[in-house]
A and B are shown apart, each in its own frame.
Chain A
């Protein structure tokens, strides 16, 4: 490939059934890309675009190579379908044998020498005379690969090339691919990061866009290690079907009366000197009803939350009912906090003690910042499950304060959720996060909202960070 491939604001559809929207993407001749993303986001479609598939709607596309080697399930299915059609077309009443493998590989072959070598390596020598359509799925995949590799392509497109290959073949293929990187640019579709060959230079990440579309959400240079790590985590959260871990039976919370509200504020007021921040707010949070709280800076969002959590000293002069306690009657704040999971930027600032990632999660059982009690084996096991969910198992023993900002936030959400609190308060959980980390946090919260035990109170003023499942809204006004 001599020139770059360039897609500018490019939109395309595939039989009107699926759309890729507004793609901006440049592939330099020296680059090797992996396309990845969530299920149904159009990974294979984007790869196919490079082979000229799809109906352009708008935008620009240039530099598409003339000779493309394409291996994909779709192409494989198409080839097999074509073979079967040949049978149908046979008017003679004999059992058709179909095209032999020999012919499939060597007819119109640009590099027969290489093809012969690969046939040997893939262990297909004894199948050369067999009909292509008689091969197993794995064997047809190998034939496809040999055809693509020996076609001297300007661009090699491999859609899930490693699926279904045995370990030896996989190693052989990877080795072969590594040997041609200087002459052949590659684009691979992969669902699993751990299959990514070391020569890959860039990753394109797709997301769903509407119910029948996809978009190119992130492009990451592999040299950018932190972005790469985040992408790994995002993919992990989005694509694995993990369940939120169970809580520790030994740390079970006292039961709440399901007939009573979780929180009831009556004429709640916060004032300093003569400045009234919150004026006579009445608010009831019933179990199972998720809320979004919004309002401009200075409207008292955080103040209202801290009345609920017991962190605001004026909670003792207000009429506050929380988790069965009418405040100011001899209850301790730890009796209140046990029912609440809490995440905010300020918590993150305050969480400055030097503890391991695992202990940060476990500290959620104790509502403490840092760990001051020995944890139980069962708590450790749950923390490990959360770390696995976050894709951070390898960082269990690393100090929390050495993590990236976004990873710290994810851990604090896990810390808040570890005890399955009746109320989860997320005070601007995406604040200060870049787009990728924002996606990560929202993905995690959606997993949590889908559960039944926890009522979510979500505080945000970014309209785009809506969370599915929230149906109640309270907007605070700034007092003049």
Chain B
């Protein structure tokens, strides 16, 4: 095991790497998949990302096979079934890796060290090793053989979406990077671009980033706003509603589907649009609550970012890996025992608008979390585009998992790394908000404001609207969403 790679770099390079992120122009992909044509691509791992990326690459005319561990093949495990039923060549590492021009490591983070250690000696001189997440390189400090090219291609969506969008003729936003220390032939970028074309990502927008920027922003986003805030918010809002006498089935439903509904508005028009869905008095209320939450939670966001940047987070988590995931499994079990998790959604109708009207606090929590994560990341030197994708952009995707099967589904869908960070956040955030929650009543969670009329003070409304629109996440968000809208949904 090597040292934390990021920490070995001088500050100047750390800052330069963190700040790497550029939205690439469509014209940069004019060569299509040419750089990979006729090359042998071997995917290691056949889970959701592995299978679906492989299907896309093959349908783009590329040569794809799957290398699996011998026991997966012998026991005909799901990964073996996934690959063979789809008509792929399947073999062991020893059989396939030496033939590969590109090895796509699409196993979970936790297995990266062992997989790469097994694969690297088998790889032929001058081949390419591809990651979809930079944790192994950046946090674990894996050293890759000097003759190998190391790239990252990371579709910013679950594997099933990667496939579904490709079949429609589109793709999902994708982040690519080249590991500067491993680009001996200078072909890393060409290979990464061709790979992104092969999965359809170029149609939805590609961000050119760095391994470091990807890891440090991805970790920050997933453990704070994306998973941590939604978990803490679910638990606190549910318990508060029940305490205030709201029907538990209603409360459960409002939260389970509420995150999805309100973040759908976020997806289309940012924080501004999410708050614009509220009545004027409710909007001002949500704004005030969010301001209060930001003051209370800012130290926690800073701590998460600091621990991520200096490597404390990954060190502590890897200690738990070494301890058979003792903490992770314990915390997972505790989550299953929360009242929210145990109470099924009631059989009640909640209209789309009602999720906003009766979930003002949830709106405030999403706003506070998105803005804090974005502000903390950019303050740490991560560029606004990266910070946007790792905070606001992904929030609706995570909210969808809660709508499917609550926190269990969310934690099962996200990576172990995200799950671990999510619990850390939750453990700190629940007590941190205890006093704040004492002042919360059903007007902001469960029932909605009971106002005589919807009148508000003009000056205050203007202030709130201006503040919403002036936040930097809104500026970069509307620009990036604009790129997307140019390509997608020309309605």
Q: Which residues of A contact B (CB under 8 A)?
A: 272-273, 310-311, 313-317, 330-335, 350, 353-356, 359, 363, 366-375, 399
Contact = CB atoms under 8 A, between A and B. Distances in A.
Contact of A332 (B61, B85, B487): B61
A313 B86 contact: yes
Contacts of B203: 372
Interface stretch (B52-60, B124-132, B382-390): B52-60
A226 B170 CA distance: 34
User: Which 9 A-B pairs have CB atoms at the shortest separation, nearest pair first?
Assistant: A368-B169, A313-B86, A369-B168, A317-B87, A332-B61, A333-B59, A316-B87, A314-B87, A330-B61
Contacts of A334: 169
Contacts of B491: 354-356, 359, 399
Contact of B490 (A335, A359, A367, A369): A359
B430 to A, nearest CB: 38
15 contacts: A272-B85, A311-B167, A313-B55, A313-B86, A313-B87, A316-B88, A331-B61, A353-B489, A359-B491, A368-B169, A369-B169, A370-B170, A372-B203, A372-B488, A373-B487
A368 B169 CA distance: 5
A333 B187 CA distance: 26
Interface residues of B, number: 24
A433 B168 CA distance: 25
B87 to A, nearest CB: 4
B63 A330 contact: yes
A265 B488 CA distance: 36
A399 B489 CA distance: 12
B37 interface: yes
Nearest to A368: B169
B38 interface: yes
Nearest to A310: B59
Interface string B28-45: 000001000110000000
A371 B87 contact: no
A217 B363 CA distance: 56
A313 B167 CA distance: 12
Given A354-B491, A355-B489, A355-B491, A368 B85 contact: no
A269 B55 CA distance: 19
B59 to A, nearest CB: 4
Contacts of A369: 167-169
B59 A372 contact: no
Contacts of B33: 332
Interface in B62-96: 62-63, 85-88
A354 B489 CA distance: 7
B16 to A, nearest CB: 34
Nearest to B83: A313
B489 to A, nearest CB: 7
B262 to A, nearest CB: 20
B85 A370 contact: no
Is the contact region of chain B dominated by helix, strand, or loop, or is it mixed?
A: loop
Contacts of A314: 85-87
Contact of A372 (B63, B87, B170): B170
A368 B168 contact: yes
Nearest to B164: A350
Nearest to B171: A372
Nearest to A375: B490
B60 A332 contact: yes
Given A359-B491, A370-B169, A313 B85 contact: yes
Among the interface residues B38, B63, B167, B170, which one has the most CB atoms of the partner chain A within 10 A?
B170
Contacts of A315: 87
Given A310-B59, A370-B169, 20 more contacts: A272-B85, A311-B167, A314-B85, A316-B87, A330-B37, A330-B38, A330-B61, A334-B169, A335-B61, A353-B168, A354-B491, A355-B489, A355-B491, A366-B169, A368-B170, A370-B489, A372-B487, A373-B490, A374-B490, A375-B490
Contacts of B86: 313-314
Nearest to A317: B87
B489 A332 contact: no
A134 B246 CA distance: 89
A273 B82 CA distance: 11
Contacts of A373: 487, 490
A3 to B, nearest CB: 50
Contacts of A331: 61
A243 to B, nearest CB: 28
A439 to B, nearest CB: 31
A332 B170 contact: no
A367 B87 contact: no
Contacts of B85: 272-273, 313-314
Given A368-B168, A374-B490, A332 B38 contact: no
Contacts of B63: 330
Contacts of A399: 491
A272 B86 CA distance: 9
A370 B168 contact: yes
Nearest to A363: B169
Nearest to B63: A330
B179 to A, nearest CB: 28
A427 to B, nearest CB: 16
Nearest to B51: A313
B55 to A, nearest CB: 7
A315 B488 CA distance: 29
Among the interface residues A354, A363, A371, which one has the most CB atoms of the partner chain B within 10 A?
A371
A234 to B, nearest CB: 29
A316 B58 CA distance: 9
Contacts of B59: 310, 332-333
Contacts of B487: 372-373
Interface in B140-188: 167-170
A180 B1 CA distance: 97
Contacts of A310: 59
B94 to A, nearest CB: 23
A288 to B, nearest CB: 29
A274 to B, nearest CB: 12
Nearest to A397: B491
A331 B490 CA distance: 28
Contacts of B55: 313
A403 to B, nearest CB: 15
A273 B88 CA distance: 14
Nearest to A335: B61
A452 to B, nearest CB: 28
Contacts of A372: 169-170, 203, 487-488, 490
Given A313-B87, A314-B87, A371 B489 contact: yes
Contact of B488 (A273, A350, A370, A375): A370
A479 B58 CA distance: 30
A281 to B, nearest CB: 16
A350 B165 CA distance: 11
A375 B490 CA distance: 9
Contacts of A363: 169
A237 to B, nearest CB: 27
A371 to B, nearest CB: 5
Contacts of A359: 490-491
B162 to A, nearest CB: 15
Contacts of A313: 55, 85-87
Contacts of B87: 313-317
A376 to B, nearest CB: 12
Contacts of A333: 59-60
A144 to B, nearest CB: 53
Contacts of B488: 370, 372
A359 B488 CA distance: 12
Contacts of A273: 85
A355 to B, nearest CB: 6
Among the interface residues B33, B203, B491, which one has the most CB atoms of the partner chain A within 10 A?
B491
A368 B62 CA distance: 20
Nearest to A400: B491
B169 to A, nearest CB: 3
A69 B37 CA distance: 80
A375 B37 CA distance: 29
A344 to B, nearest CB: 14
A353 B58 CA distance: 25
